Structures are given as structure tokens and as C-alpha cells.
């Protein structure tokens, strides 16, 4: 493989020159702007930049592995991004007991914050909420670790390296593993000869917030994981009532619920149909933010823009409510509802 080599500017050059270089050489789309999850305008100066160095989503890859051998590129990427914000770069570190890579814990020019707990503790949205919430018309940028590495490598070598380490995961794989591949890689090539059964769902990303792709599909632009699970298109009569196979539940009243340590084989079955959308406090127990997601969802459904803003819609994106959707007793598509609300709000601005 050969690469086009370009002359990179000094990172101490004027901000406009850095922005122009990044836009011309494919680096600008690696930046995500909140709210709305969009590529930022070239003249936008973010209030802060947030980076989560760990992912708590199901079977998510370990960023300590992804950054191995690319320590200099990661630090260089941080140095470049520091020139683009009027605020700080906030680095979210894993405080769950396993020591993060020194490239994270000893990173220079950033503010470090430790987070612990179950998913979604690793979500960058949770970090923003507890460190420097989005206020008014503020814009905040977020980037995954592999995108920072790509930016850093470009400034170190003058070459755009689209390679990345991704995790192949899921119970329907013969051999879950890490692979070295490229942005937009063919799913068929990644999974060839490694899938068991013939009735599976292939997801670019994790099971909670990833996108369904076929075997002839491709890896998502920011995806660092492919998950394969059984398709849940089989139905059980009175499955919620009878003591059948174990299944996930946040309630201990299910006959098939065996406790928090019970193992079960995941599939895509929702185990029920859409029901009344009643306030239960269920979402609040799963989202570690000072937000009432159920009230927010009702405001979105009714198109109440003022109430949506007041209830914190600008602090959320799909991955933040994905766990709430998974556990939702009412079987509501919360991620889709949230995106509709964000699109509606954006049109009003």
C-alpha cells in the first residue's frame, strides 16, 4: 500500500491554517460536534473537547490495546486538538480497577478525570455531563481514541493512515478476536469462515447502539467493533410468564430471571410488544445523569421544543439512552425518538 505524502504545518501555526490543512486532507470529518452529532463548521471554536479512553459497552474493545505502538501519534493528536479549542481537552480515564495505559494516564496538556461503574460510565456524554455540561449555544467536540491516532499520525508522517484495530465479538463467532483492518472494511472479509449458524444479525458496533449491516455490508466510519448475535425472530407463547430460558431483565419478578450473575444467550428478540408509556423511574436508574429521560421522551413525542431543551436534550445522544432502550418495559425505540427530537430542535435554530 502506498500513501500520498503531504507537507504538514507546524502545530503552532495560526488556527486557521491548521483547520484548512485538516479539512483539505480528510481529518476534519474525524471530529464530532455536540449537540446534534455533526461534523463541525470550519469556523466553530468548541468550548471544550472530550475524549473517553475506555468503553464500557458490551464486548467493546480495550483502548489500551488499540493505542499500543501508537503512543506518539496519540499525544501528537492531543497537541493538535489543543490548538483548536478555547477551553480544555478533557480525558476520561478508567477508574474501575484496571490501570489504563501510561499514554492515557500520563498524557500531557489535558485535564484528566477518573470514572468508575457499569455501562454507560465510559460514554463521553456522561463525562461531559459531570465535568462541563453543554450550556446555551456551546459546542463541544468529541473524538474516539483511534481518530486521535489518525490525526496524530498525519501530523507526524504527512500520511493519512486509515488503519485501525477492531474487535470481532459475539457468541455466534467461532473465534472472537482483534483484527488489524481499515476504515470501511468489508464485513464479509472480516467474518469469513468465522460465523456459526445461518440466522444471525451482524452489527457494526456494539449490540446497544450499533448499526445493523448485512454480510455484504461495510464497517461504519467510526466503528471499532463488529458484533454477531442470533436473530430473535422466534416467539414464545406467554414467554414472559412461563419459566423458560434465562433472559435479561432489570426486574427480579420475571420467572426466568436468575439473578444478576445469570448467564444467557443474547439475541435480538424484544420479548414483548409496545406497551403503555408509564413513568416508572426505570430509565433514571440506568442513566447516571441529572436528567429525567422518560419525561424528555414524552416532550419529544409531543413536539414540545421548550420542554425538550429544559429537560436536557442537548446533553444526550443515542448511545447515552441505548441501555434505557434495552431495558425499556414499554418497548419504545428511545434512540430513534431522541434523534427525531435533536433533528427537530436543530431545525428551529
Q: What is the pLDDT at residue 119?
A: 96
State whether 41 and 84 are in the same domain: yes
Mean local confidence (pLDDT), 24-50? 97
Tell me the pLDDT band of 102, cut-offs 50, 70 and 90: very high
Please tell me the pTM assigned to this model: 0.93
Pick from 106, 139, 157: which residue ends a domain? 157
The three cell numbers of residue 44 are 466553530
Give a yes or no: residue 71 inside a domain.
yes
Task: Name the average pLDDT for the chain.
Answer: 92
Give a yes or no: residue 55 inside a domain.
yes
End-to-end CA distance of the chain: 45
Among 258, 247, 236, CA closest to 326: 247
| Residue scoring higher pLDDT (252 or 106) | 106
State whether 126 and 199 are in the same domain: no
Alpha carbons 70 and 85: distance in angstroms, whole number: 24
State whether 332 and 226 are in the same domain: no
Pick from 157, 183, 213: which residue ends a domain? 157
Per the structure, the complete domain to which residue 77 belongs is given by 15-157
State whether 51 and 147 are in the same domain: yes
Angle at 8 between CA 5 and CA 10, to 5 degrees: 160
State whether 90 and 30 are in the same domain: yes
Mean local confidence (pLDDT), 159-178? 96
Tell me the pLDDT band of 270, cut-offs 50, 70 and 90: confident
Mean local confidence (pLDDT), 90-112? 96
The three cell numbers of residue 11 are 502545530
State whether 36 and 58 are in the same domain: yes
CATH number of the domain enclosing 206: 3.10.20.600
Give a yes or no: residue 269 inside a domain.
no
> What are phi and psi for residue 116, nearest 5 degrees?
-140, 160
| Three-class secondary structure assignment of the chain | CCCCCCCCCCCCCCHHHHHHHHHHCCCHHHCEEECCCECCCCCCCCCEEEEECCCCCCCCCCHHHHCCCCHHHHHHHHHHHHCCCCCCEEEEEECCCCCCCHHHHCCCCCEEEEECCCCCCCCHHHHHHHHCCCCCCCCEEECCHHHHHHHHHHHHHCCCCCEEEEEEECCCECCCEEEEEECCCEHHHHHCCCECCCCEEEEECCCCCCEEECCCCECCCCCCEEEEEECCCCCCCCCCCCCCCCCCCCCCCCCCCCCCCCCCCCECCCCCCCCCCCCCCCCCCCCCCCCCHHHHHHHHHCCCHHHHHHCCHHHCCHHHHHHHHHHCCCCCCHHHHHHHHHHHHHHHC
Q: What is the pLDDT at residue 231?
A: 92
Among 214, 185, 194, 190, CA closest to 202: 214
State whether 21 and 145 are in the same domain: yes
The three cell numbers of residue 138 are 456551546
Q: What is the pLDDT at residue 308?
A: 96
State whether 177 and 97 are in the same domain: no
| Residue scoring higher pLDDT (281 or 174) | 174
State whether 100 and 76 are in the same domain: yes
Give a yes or no: residue 177 inside a domain.
yes
Give a yes or no: residue 4 inside a domain.
no
- pLDDT over 70 percentage in the chain: 94
Q: Are 65 and 178 in contact (CB under 8 A)?
A: yes
Q: How many alpha carbons fall within 13 Å on the CB side of residue 171?
A: 12
Alpha carbons 54 and 60: distance in angstroms, whole number: 9
Q: What is the pLDDT at residue 280?
A: 82
Q: What is the pLDDT at residue 262?
A: 72
Give a yes or no: residue 246 inside a domain.
no
The CA distances from residue 264 to 13, 44, 58, 82, 182, in Å, are: 55, 46, 14, 45, 32
What's the structural domain count of the chain? 3
Alpha carbons 204 and 35: distance in angstroms, whole number: 23
CATH number of the domain enclosing 49: 3.40.50.11540
Q: What is the pLDDT at residue 278?
A: 80
Give a yes or no: residue 73 inside a domain.
yes
Query: Is the confidence at residue 121, as pLDDT, over 90?
Result: yes
State whether 38 and 152 are in the same domain: yes
Pick from 106, 141, 157: which residue ends a domain? 157
Query: Is the confidence at residue 264, as pLDDT, over 90?
Result: no
Q: pLDDT tens digit string along 63-84?
A: 999 999 999 999 999 999 999 9
Query: Is the confidence at residue 283, as pLDDT, over 70?
Result: yes
Give a yes or no: residue 120 inside a domain.
yes
Among 307, 345, 326, 280, CA closest to 58: 326
Among 118, 119, 143, 140, CA closest to 131: 140
State whether 108 and 189 are in the same domain: no
Mean local confidence (pLDDT), 139-159? 97
State whether 326 and 195 are in the same domain: no
Amino acid at each position: 500500500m502506498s500513501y500520498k505524502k503531504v507537507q504538514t504545518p507546524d502545530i503552532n501555526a495560526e488556527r486557521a491554517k491548521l483547520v484548512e490543512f485538516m479539512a483539505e486532507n480528510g481529518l476534519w470529518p474525524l471530529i464530532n460536534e455536540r449537540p446534534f452529532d455533526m461534523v463541525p463548521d470550519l469556523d466553530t471554536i468548541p468550548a471544550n473537547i472530550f475524549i473517553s479512553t475506555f468503553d464500557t459497552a458490551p464486548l467493546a474493545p480495550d483502548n489500551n490495546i488499540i493505542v499500543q505502538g501508537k503512543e506518539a501519534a496519540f499525544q501528537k493528536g492531543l497537541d493538535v486538538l489543543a490548538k483548536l479549542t478555547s477551553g480544555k481537552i478533557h480525558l476520561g480515564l478508567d477508574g474501575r480497577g484496571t490501570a489504563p495505559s501510561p499514554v492515557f494516564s500520563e498524557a500531557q496538556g489535558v485535564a484528566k478525570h477518573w470514572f468508575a461503574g457499569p455501562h454507560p460510565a465510559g460514554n463521553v456524554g456522561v463525562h461531559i455531563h459531570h465535568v462541563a455540561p453543554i450550556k446555551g449555544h456551546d459546542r463541544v467536540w468529541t473524538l474516539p481514541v483511534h481518530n486521535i491516532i489518525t490525526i496524530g499520525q498525519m501530523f507526524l508522517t504527512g500520511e493519512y493512515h486509515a488503519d485501525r484495530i477492531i474487535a470481532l465479538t459475539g457468541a455466534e463467532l467461532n473465534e472472537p478476536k482483534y483484527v488489524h483492518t481499515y476504515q470501511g472494511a468489508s464485513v464479509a472479509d472480516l467474518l469469513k469462515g468465522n460465523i456459526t449458524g445461518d440466522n444471525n444479525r451482524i452489527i457494526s458496533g456494539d449490540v446497544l447502539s450499533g448499526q445493523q449491516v448485512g454480510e455484504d455490508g461495510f464497517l461504519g466510519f467510526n466503528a471499532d467493533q463488529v458484533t454477531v448475535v442470533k436473530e430473535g425472530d422466534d416467539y414464545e407463547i406467554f414467554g414472559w410468564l412461563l419459566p423458560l430460558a434465562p433472559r435479561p431483565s432489570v426486574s427480579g419478578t420475571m420467572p426466568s430471571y436468575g439473578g444478576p450473575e445469570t448467564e444467557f444467550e443474547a439475541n435480538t428478540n424484544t420479548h414483548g410488544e409496545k406497551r403503555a408509556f408509564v413513568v416508572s423511574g426505570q430509565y433514571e436508574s440506568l442513566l447516571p445523569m441529572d436528567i429525567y429521560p422518560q419525561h424528555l421522551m414524552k416532550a419529544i413525542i409531543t413536539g414540545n421544543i421548550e420542554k425538550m431543551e429544559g429537560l436536557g436534550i442537548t446533553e444526550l445522544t443515542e448511545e447515552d439512552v441505548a441501555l434505557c432502550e434495552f431495558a425499556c418495559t414499554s418497548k419504545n425505540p428511545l434512540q430513534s425518538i431522541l434523534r427525531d427530537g435533536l433533528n427537530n430542535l436543530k431545525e428551529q435554530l
